[in-house]
Each structure stands twice: as C-alpha cells, then as structure tokens.
Amino acid sequence: MTDRFDQSGGEDADASILPLGDVRLAKMPVAFQRSELDQILRLYGRMVAAGEWRDYAIDHLPDRAVFSVYRRASEFALFRIVKDPALARRQGAFAVVATDGRIVKRGHELDRVLAVFDRKLSLVKA
C-alpha cells in the first residue's frame, strides 16, 4: 500500500498526501479580500459604462495581488491596482500604477487610493 491515491480512490496517482504541518507552512499567494474586490469591481463597472475600460485581469502572485485594467485586450495595462502586504506598515499596501510604472497613488486604505479615478468637477469660465 502506498501514500498515493487518485480522486477515485485508486493508487499511484500524481497527488500525494502531505502532513498537515507542511500544508500550514506552505506560502499561499496574496489575494484580494471580498470587500476589496467589491470596491475595485464597482469602479471597473463605472469606467466600463463611461467607455474608458474594456477588459481586466487578476493575478495572485506569491508576494502581491494585481488587478490590471485594459482599454483593449491586446494592449498593455492602462493601470494596475496592486496589493502588496510587505509595504503595509510603511507606505501602504495598496497602489495604483500607470502603464509606464509610475506610482500614481499609494496608501493604507483602498478607497482613498481608488479615489484617484474620481473625476472632480470644476467651474470653467467662458
């Protein structure tokens, strides 16, 4: 008898049984929380309705989570909304990064960082 089983219960599959301690120590990728993703998708919906954004991608990497927005799927990302927990105590875990790599806004609270996309109305004299 071996420690290897497939999902149907047969032996000699590619999956193996790991001790629980090893699983707890395994580094999980960084992900957006439900409330954070809610805020981002609400902004995305507004920008799609305005005709400015058309596509997005979400990457969950070992050190950060990235929400990229595109004008067209074949182009570079217009903006990347990044969550980097390593910077949470210093500059803030959230950042908006432009296409050229320039950090547009960084902070500790996602709603304040996303406020960079809010349009300000101003009085124009004719």
Domain span at residue 69 reads: 34-117
**Interior/surface letters 86-110, b for 16+ CB within 10 angstroms, e for the rest:** ebeeeebbbbbbeeeeeeebbbeeb
pTM of the model: 0.72
Q: Does residue 82 lie in a domain region?
A: yes
> Quick one: average pLDDT of 22-27?
58
Q: Which span out of 7-11, 12-16, 23-27, 87-91 was modeled with the highest average pLDDT?
A: 87-91
pLDDT at 44 (0 to 100) = 93
pLDDT at 29 (0 to 100) = 84
CA dist 110 → 12, 15, 22, 33, 55 (Å): 47, 38, 33, 11, 21
Which pLDDT band, with edges at 50, 70 and 90, does 120 fall under?
low
Number of domains in the chain: 1
Q: Does residue 93 lie in a domain region?
A: yes
